[in-house]
Chains A and B, each alone.
Chain A
Amino acid sequence: MLLEPREFRLLDGLRINPRKSFGGKVRGERLTTKKGISIEFADYREYSEGDDLRHLDWNVLARLDAPVMRTYRDEEDLAVHLLVDGSASMAFGEPSKYVAAQKLACALGYIALNGGDGVIPRNLGKREAKFPTLRGRANYPRLSAWVTQPREIETAAEGLASSLRAFTASSARTGVVVLLSDGLDPEIPLALRGLGGRGHEVLFLQILSQPEMDPELEGDLRLIDVESNRTTEITANSYALKEYRRRLAEHNKAIADSILRIGGRYALVQSDVTVEKVLQSVWKREGWVR
């Protein structure tokens, strides 16, 4: 089940808190900008022929002698795209970044299912068959099963950015995109902008392992990129390590800037972080959930 009972209790009662509103497909528990017929008042408008007279404001008509229709905010479900990076680079770390992503995906998925949102899990990496939208708490086991199904992440052929572009280009319903990834792709900032341009609200939780954040290498090395198999020869001296840290910080800043520009949310966590810690220090504090 990945999540422990205690963690379930912590997540109960929370809902995904997007900045935008998105139109839903089915009636749900979430307010939408579409004027509907729910009890949540939205505005007045002039009566037009064919309008449902049940929503005519009789009081206004009596006072002003003008037919005015009451409009209501509709309550629809929110599409929560749960994108889990399954590229080869996610296998690094102790525990691995992928394991951390699985756990956090389960946690966010549980929150979304609890909130009545439609959860669409998707693996970024090896192409998989499209998974149906999950709704309701009862579907959590299915979500959990999807998350934990064995994947050969080591042999992932597709890079993170191209997987993300493929998602952007797909006909996926506009909604909240929860991205759980290490973001270790030089083109990821650009891909994120494309994602934002498509109308999605992106919640990017970048997961990096401790050795990636503060590597302790030494000696003369030939580094092999596990995704592209490209090699780079380095002498792991103070200069190289300093330069690595500088570049990583620059890369992460570029990601954060892209997310900020598209109105999304971004946080960086270490792969050994607990769900509780992320909940307290990121999701709740920065308003990802409420």
Chain B
Amino acid sequence: MTFQAPAALLWFLPFGGAILVLYLLKMRRRDLKVPATFLWPDRVEEIRANTLFQKLKPNWLLFLQLLALMAILLAIAKPQTQQKGLVGEVTVFVIDTSASMSATDVKPSRFFEAKRLTQEAIRSAKPSDRVAIIEAGPTPRVVSPLSSDPARQLASLETVQPTDAEGQVGEALRLASALVGGIDGARIVLMSDGDFEKVSNFSKGKAALVYRCIGEMDDNLSVSALGTAETTSGRQLFCGIKNHGSHANAGTLSLFADGKVIDSVKSPMIAPNGQWGRTIQAPAGARVFEAKLDAPDFLKSDNYAVAITDPNAALRVLLISKGNLFLERALALDPRVTLDKATEVPATELGSGGASQYDVVVFDGIPEQLVKSRGVLTFGAVGMSSPVTAKGSAAKPKFVSAEKKALLESVNLQPVFIDRQTIVAPKPNGEVLALTSVGPLVVTAQEPGKRQIFVSFEPMNSDFPLQIGFPIFVANALDFLAGGASSALLSVKTGQPFSLPTTSGGRLTMPNGETRTLKSTGATLVVRDTMMVGNYRLDVDGKSKKIYATLRSDRASNIRPEKGLDLGGGQVKASASPLRFADFWRPIALLCLMVLGAEWWLFARKS
């Protein structure tokens, strides 16, 4: 038994001494003459005193009071007993559900081992122990709040499922710290293999952090690259395999084009951390290329990759802005978008004609320049290449009308407050889609291989970014600039949520054939369910999209169990069976109450 506050025991000396001194005091008794004293018991009960001094006599009250004092001080000293077990008095289990936890080096898998250990710990918890469960998946969530209800905790634990996505363990730990960081003696138990991004800005507070490392081996091959490139000899398909394990390994790589096998080859032995690549001629006209690796490794979810060559399936967007979080977020919401940001257009992108790195360039309050990209979206500032000419500016214009065009579908500009608008006049190729009291609000222009949208105010000079129509407008704009229609093919990263502009809901068919009905939030349908690697089908507004979810994460493919973690600035070592310090003050407090009760009873009896 140890004490959290052993100094409290020292108080026994002054307090015990004070009690003893009280018992050295003598009672001044009232004199009373009686016929005979021999009939009276020769026993004096020293329960009161009002004068000095007398010899200390044995007294049950003194003994009980000293015992009660000792019990009180023992309780204040917070005695603890050491026990082995994951569960403490207050425990939060953070269960890593990331892709690496699906490794099968521990049977049936690391994730199910973590789940089994958590179940055992919950079953072994004392009735007074409070336990919470947090799922450390792509979106951390509290599966079960702090409670002393094991049945509910076990039921909640059953809802936790493994994913093929990268987990946000840092976020989950911060969530756990927010839950129990302020509780003395609380414990955060991380059930993980340690294969996640380094966690910073994490403080465990008063809680103790226990890391239960799950996993034994690291043999894993992954499809690290898959893509096409236009070369002089035609379109080439490249596929790379990487060995993340500590032993040389080999596998059989199969490549598919639109679902048909176009190549199957056994790789040579790949050294640890080594890569091997395979390049073949891509069949003409094929849009979807898949790579499947059959290897004797422990993680299967990274043995699959997809590359889509549909021009609208992926959009590279360059945002020229001094900083606009709303616009960045709206662009990033689109699953097709790969976003780059800059404050000015790179010289390589300026001009007309020639190949561009970007499909779309967005000018946010920065005068539009002539760029090579096939699409340009400009907010506020007119440039030479804009489809409008500037005429000045006006404050607080009033919305007048808008055309029913695809660009403005589900976008209501009428309630948008615009603080300042650039007064523009459309050029001959410009088509005015929306109008305010001071002139054109949205103007589009189309030329072969080039599409432009001009919006005559800056988003930050209005409340448009706060309206639900803003991300829809951005998504519609990207559709317009990409060629007029969104692709029916999508390639997403597992676990990464994406959204589609729609006011109606959708239906998602999972790789295992299960279907889920999705409801739109406002005018956006957010899809968060692509947690497993595979092919999904999303039915929205009568159209069907095929979604390929792949892992493609170097971090997740590295399944080497980490025995030590750097969390919150401190090194945490893996512990198989951490010691539990169980508070022992309650029985002592109960004993104290009993002693005080006995002391009270004795005092009442004596007086």
Q: Are B32 and A239 in contact (CB under 8 A)?
A: no
B27 CB, min distance to chain A CBs, angstroms: 5
Contact of B40 among A185, A186, A223, A226 (CB under 8 A): A223
Which residues of B have CB within 8 Å of A220? 27, 29-30, 48
Q: Are B32 and A221 in contact (CB under 8 A)?
A: yes
Contact of A221 among B30, B38, B48 (CB under 8 A): B30
B1 within 8 Å of A (CB atoms): no
The contact sample of 13 A-B pairs, CB cut-off 8 A, is A186-B36, A212-B35, A221-B29, A224-B34, A226-B35, A230-B37, A234-B40, A235-B606, A239-B41, A239-B606, A243-B40, A244-B40, A247-B41
Count contacts between A and B, CB distance < 8 Å.
91
Which residues of B have CB within 8 Å of A247? 38-41
Interface size on B, residues (CB 8 A): 23
Q: Are B41 and A227 in contact (CB under 8 A)?
A: no
Interface mask (B25-69 → A, CB under 8 Å = 1, otherwise 0) = 001011111111111111111011000000000000000000000
A231 within 8 Å of B (CB atoms): yes
A225 within 8 Å of B (CB atoms): yes
Bound CA span A226–B38, Å: 12
A157 within 8 Å of B (CB atoms): no
* B contact face: mostly helix, strand, loop, or mixed: loop
Given contacts A220-B29, A235-B44, A235-B606, contact A248 B34 (CB under 8 A): no
Q: Are A226 and B34 in contact (CB under 8 A)?
A: yes
Contact of B605 among A90, A234, A237 (CB under 8 A): A237
Given contacts A89-B35, A226-B35, contact A235 B47 (CB under 8 A): yes
Which residues of A have CB within 8 Å of B31? 221-222, 224
Which residues of A have CB within 8 Å of B231? none
Bound CA span A179–B45, Å: 38
Q: Which of A223, A240, A244 has the most CB of B within 10 A?
A: A223
Bound CA span A240–B34, Å: 15
Given contacts A221-B30, A222-B30, A243-B41, contact A237 B606 (CB under 8 A): yes
Interface mask (B584-607 → A, CB under 8 Å = 1, otherwise 0) = 000000000000000000000111
Bound CA span A232–B40, Å: 8
Q: Are B37 and A231 in contact (CB under 8 A)?
A: yes
Bound CA span A217–B35, Å: 14
Which single residue of chain A is at the shortest CB-CB distance from B44? A233
B365 CB, min distance to chain A CBs, angstroms: 94
Contact of A248 among B30, B39, B47 (CB under 8 A): B39
Given A225-B35, A247-B38, output 20 extra A-B contacts at Cβ < 8 Å: A89-B35, A92-B34, A185-B36, A222-B30, A223-B32, A223-B33, A225-B37, A226-B34, A226-B35, A231-B37, A233-B44, A235-B44, A235-B45, A237-B605, A239-B605, A239-B606, A240-B41, A244-B39, A244-B41, A248-B39
Which residues of A have CB within 8 Å of B35? 88-90, 92, 182, 184, 212, 225-227
Which residues of A have CB within 8 Å of B607? 235, 237
B452 CB, min distance to chain A CBs, angstroms: 105
Bound CA span A59–B33, Å: 73
- B contact residues vs A (CB 8 Å cutoff): 27, 29-45, 47-48, 605-607
- A contact residues vs B (CB 8 Å cutoff): 88-90, 92, 182, 184-186, 212, 217, 219-228, 230-235, 237-240, 243-244, 247-248, 251
Which residues of B have CB within 8 Å of A219? 30
* A contact face: mostly helix, strand, loop, or mixed: mixed
Which residues of B have CB within 8 Å of A227? 35-36
Which single residue of chain B is at the shortest CB-CB distance from A238? B605
B600 CB, min distance to chain A CBs, angstroms: 15
Bound CA span A225–B40, Å: 11
Which residues of A have CB within 8 Å of B42? 232
A220 CB, min distance to chain B CBs, angstroms: 5
Bound CA span A237–B602, Å: 12
Which single residue of chain B is at the shortest CB-CB distance from A185? B36
B453 CB, min distance to chain A CBs, angstroms: 100
Bound CA span A224–B44, Å: 15
Which single residue of chain B is at the shortest CB-CB distance from A154? B33
Q: Are B38 and A186 in contact (CB under 8 A)?
A: yes
Bound CA span A262–B269, Å: 125
Which residues of B have CB within 8 Å of A230? 37
Bound CA span A182–B36, Å: 10
Q: Are A226 and B41 in contact (CB under 8 A)?
A: no
Q: Are B32 and A217 in contact (CB under 8 A)?
A: yes
Which residues of B have CB within 8 Å of A88? 35
Which residues of B have CB within 8 Å of A240? 40-41, 43
Given contacts A237-B607, A240-B41, contact A222 B32 (CB under 8 A): yes
Which residues of A have CB within 8 Å of B48? 220
Which residues of A have CB within 8 Å of B45? 235, 237, 239
Bound CA span A4–B15, Å: 70
Which residues of A have CB within 8 Å of B32? 217, 221-224
Which single residue of chain B is at the shortest CB-CB distance from A87? B35
Bound CA span A162–B324, Å: 118
Which residues of A have CB within 8 Å of B34? 92, 223-226
Which residues of B have CB within 8 Å of A90? 35
Which single residue of chain A is at the shortest CB-CB distance from B32? A221
Bound CA span A19–B27, Å: 54
Q: Are B29 and A233 in contact (CB under 8 A)?
A: yes
A180 CB, min distance to chain B CBs, angstroms: 15
Which residues of B have CB within 8 Å of A244? 39-41
Which single residue of chain B is at the shortest CB-CB distance from A247? B39
Bound CA span A225–B32, Å: 9
Bound CA span A16–B44, Å: 47
Which residues of B have CB within 8 Å of A233? 27, 29, 44
A227 CB, min distance to chain B CBs, angstroms: 7
Q: Which 3 A-B pairs have the closest CB atoms?
A: A89-B35, A235-B45, A184-B36
Which residues of A have CB within 8 Å of B38? 186, 225, 247
Bound CA span A234–B32, Å: 11
Bound CA span A247–B39, Å: 6
Which single residue of chain B is at the shortest CB-CB distance from A186? B38
A186 CB, min distance to chain B CBs, angstroms: 5
Which residues of B have CB within 8 Å of A235? 44-45, 47, 606-607
Bound CA span A221–B47, Å: 13
Bound CA span A92–B37, Å: 14
Which residues of A have CB within 8 Å of B27? 220, 233
Bound CA span A224–B43, Å: 15
B28 CB, min distance to chain A CBs, angstroms: 8
A274 CB, min distance to chain B CBs, angstroms: 22
A231 CB, min distance to chain B CBs, angstroms: 7
Bound CA span A223–B606, Å: 18
Bound CA span A35–B518, Å: 137
Bound CA span A244–B38, Å: 9
